[in-house]
Structure 1
């Protein structure tokens, strides 16, 4: 993976994009630290689909909540008085 300081990436943005489209992710640094990675749109979509396919369902998330055999504390709510 090629690494570009932000200044150079700005000045040579077309080269950064061309390399990413060719299949080579491009890392851009800011003040010497990694800031972003530029990847091709197709690769981004592939990663999004993969992430979505591996994401747990809402039911799986609920079932994975720790159960310690105790009841949850319920808040006491006083209903609001509505006058017409």
Structure 2
């Protein structure tokens, strides 16, 4: 039997299933990686961390207005190629 992973180690799917409560508890403070076939598959994070990472910070217009390229007077040309055939 595999010893339980430390906070900085990843979990196999089998160990994560067997110790789901512990995975959830540790994810409250540190993201927990679950591996499948030896490769990272998913990361479990707290709901608070997920909310922080996925909350929109402003609008697209605000983002564009704050761009360092704003006012750079870039000379961009639009391509005038024929549209592609959607059947291809």
Q: Same fold (TM over 0.5)?
A: yes
Output the aligned Cα RMSD. 2.8
User: Cα gap change, 1:70/1:13 in structure 2, threshold over 3 Å: closer, same or farther?
Assistant: closer
SS in structure 2 opposite 1:53? coil
Does the alignment pair 1:19 with 2:26?
yes
Larger radius of gyration: 1
User: Given the alignment, which residue of 40, 43, 57 partners 1:53?
Assistant: 57
CA-to-aligned-CA distance 1:27-73 (integer Å, 9 cap, x gap)? 00000000000000000000012xx227x727x5xxxxxx4255464
How many residues are paired up?
Answer: 65
User: Given the alignment, which residue of 6, 10, 25 partners 1:3?
Assistant: 10
TM-score under structure 1 length normalisation = 0.62
Question: Which fold has the larger relative contact order, with Cα–Cα distance below 8 Å and residues 6 or more apart in sequence?
Answer: 1
TM-score under structure 2 length normalisation = 0.59
Offset of residue 4 of structure 1: 0.3
Contact 1:2–1:25 (CA under 8 A) maintained in structure 2: no
Gaps of 5+ in 1: 61-66, 75-84
Aligned to 1:68: 77
